[in-house]
Structure 1
Amino acid sequence: MNNKKQLIQFFLISLAIFTIALLPVRFTLGKVGEVRIFGGDESIKDEMGYIVDESGPYYELFSKSDRVNILVLGDNDGLTDTIMLASYDMKNQRVDVISVPRDTYYARPDHKGAASQKINAIYGSQGVIETAKAVSDTLLGIPINYYAVIEFSDVEKIVDKIGGVPMNIPFTMKYDDPYDKPPLHIYIEKGQQTLNGKKSVQFLRYRKGYPEGDIGRVKAQQEFIKSAVKQAIGPNLPSVVKLGLEEIDSDITLGMATKIATKAIGLDAENMSTYLIPGGPKTVNGASYWFADTTKVGDMIEEIYNPPAEDESKTETEAE
């Protein structure tokens, strides 16, 4: 389900992949290695490794691919309101981003309560590594190499650094919840405008009013990120990168950042595609979940990892 339009996720991707690629590579060879350039507290490499289950249906695709997969989490008071997997194909210069709805069902028999069976609840109780395992499991064993966590306060700072994000707001967004953490006060008028940092956070936190519910919110976030990435690619990029280095929690190493930098010279926003994990909503015992469709998830993975060759695509188009 390719969607050429896709927040904290895509924006983090621009910081965790695209902007890292544009960091001046001024480091001596002696410094390039496993030294972290962000302030991550955990390590997916140490805790999970990059091992792909040899008995899995996509072992061959995963093991032969030259991709770096980064789990991107938007933290809101211990809940991951935004969950994305950014997959950078260094050989074919593509970035594919898979959005995982926060209400995605993920069974945890040892945890009681309907809310604890939602994938966004794992981070607050078990941390990054267990969240990464759940996302990998939901995506049929896809390897996750690194993670990056960003908070709404970071988004506000980043958006102000790039001069705002142009957006066409489809309807007036108005909502107040003084009991939310932090308190939620939203008012954004309908129409084309440039959102500053505060308004951007309001936009990303807005949940009500989308015809498709939380899936509509995910799509709106994807549109925001696409616009934000375009804004970031400009004169303010060095200061955005600097801010990202100061604020982001990630285990990306200097060695990997340097490798990405040497590979991603020609990467631009047009080489990014976004996906929503296939599935559908379902209410169980009064709780609303998003259930992944395993067959369609497999089709999506094959599309991402084994896209048709450019020449073959042209041939098929001409034949039609």
Structure 2
Amino acid sequence: MSRKKRYKRKSNVIKVAAALLVVCVAAIGYFVYQYQAGVRMAESVEHQEYEFNGEKSLDDKVNVLLLGVDARSVEGKSRTDSIMVAQYDPKEGTAKIISIMRDIYTEIPGYKNYKINTAFYLGGPELLRETLKNNFDLDIEYYTLIDFTGFEKMVDALAPMGIEIDVEKKMSANIGVSLEPGLHRLNGKELLGYARFRKDAEADFGRVRRQQQVISALKDELLSTNGVVKLPKLIGTAQPYIQTNLQTSELLTIIKSVYMDLPEEVETLTIPIQNSYTDVRYEGVGQALDINFEKNKEAIHSFLEGDSANQEPGPLSVSQEKG
């Protein structure tokens, strides 16, 4: 090879390297700019410190206790509006979510029997983890608390024009917004209200169904090209409103794994399952769900192990269950 050709080849390599460096610097600059834009959308939030003695899965699956909380609750204690267990399997590239009905009447370690969401009020995510472990034999390594205000801001950062939802009926009771039937693009506050609505015949079962619908819609938006571009801003917006024991390196590894092998769908299960509960009223507790724990434990483990049986939730029909 002549000296002239070697010089030209070396020059081309330098140009390519310089171009890649410019692209990397631009990408980092964009990430920082969008991240800071997200931080500016957020507010300063004080968090209560929690312990969490979660157990690592033996098969490398990532199990996270997801809790939707209202930090504006009285007495300085947040209350859980939603209880979910999310599992991501990096080997199979699958994502699953178990929605736990908050009105399940159960034994809470160290306390009397209450509704299951009372465990968080009494002892934070660790007591709720212990309650789920004792009743359903669920090993959960991580927890994540998402504040309602943060949810609203995260949705607005991800989708400024709103998330498309087919609202099935008029909704307004106790959700802070008024929604009309039909296909609408809901902003953060409206989407939260839609997910929290339960003043109909389905009650909490309807709310859980809508929460799963919202998660699916947000997943589709997040994994779209628009969502990938908005990810830095979303992270910046979400940071003040989310509490988790996931380390930054662990979280980034999960995010990278998800984007490298996108799940085709998020599989869902609602507990209790069909024909496994009765609707009862306890003095001092109110309306609650008395469930068959063995039947639901079996359904959970079948679901997490890949068996599609017993994955349908029990439709709430108070008149039927009371009879």
> Please, what TM-score do these two structures have when normalized by structure 1?
0.69
Alignment partner of 2:88: what SS?
A: strand
Is there any run of 5+ residues in structure 1 with no aligned partner, and where? 1-22, 25-38, 52-61, 177-183, 310-320
Aligned 8 A contact 1:132 1:144 in 2: yes
Distance 2:195 2:66 in 1: 15
- Is 1:264 equivalent to 2:258 in the alignment? yes
2:243 to 242, 249, 256: 249
Aligned 8 A contact 1:43 1:146 in 2: no
Farther-moved stretch of structure 1 (196-205 vs 265-274): 265-274
Residue 308 of structure 1 deviates from its aligned partner by 6.4
In the alignment, what sits opposite 1:159? 155
- Cα distance 1:269–1:200, how it changes in 2: closer, same or farther (>3 A)? farther
Distance 2:104 2:68 in 1: 15
- Is 1:50 equivalent to 2:55 in the alignment? yes
1:162-241 to structure 2, matched below 5 A, reads 162-163=158-159, 164-176=162-174, 184-209=175-200, 211-233=201-223, 234=227, 235-241=229-235
In the alignment, what sits opposite 1:89? 89
In the alignment, what sits opposite 2:13? none
- Cα distance 1:206–1:271, how it changes in 2: closer, same or farther (>3 A)? closer
In the alignment, what sits opposite 2:305? 306
In the alignment, what sits opposite 1:19? none
Residue 261 of structure 1 deviates from its aligned partner by 4.2
1:1-150 to structure 2, matched below 5 A, reads 41-44=49-52, 48-50=53-55, 63=58, 65-76=59-70, 77=73, 78-108=78-108, 111=111, 117-139=114-136, 141-150=137-146
Is there any run of 5+ residues in structure 2 with no aligned partner, and where? 1-30, 33-46, 309-323
> Please, what TM-score do these two structures have when normalized by structure 2?
0.69
Q: Number of paired residues? A: 247
Distance 1:202 1:158 in 2: 15
Q: What do you get for the CA RMSD once the two structures are aligned? A: 2.6
Residues 57-101 of structure 1, C-alpha deviation per residue, up to 9 Å, x if partnerless? Answer: xxxxx63x2211100001122221100000111211111100001
Structure of higher RCO (CA pairs closer than 8 Å, 6+ residues apart): 1
Q: Which has the higher helix share?
A: 2
- Cα distance 1:264–1:79, how it changes in 2: closer, same or farther (>3 A)? same
- Cα distance 1:231–1:265, how it changes in 2: closer, same or farther (>3 A)? closer
Aligned 8 A contact 2:54 2:142 in 1: no
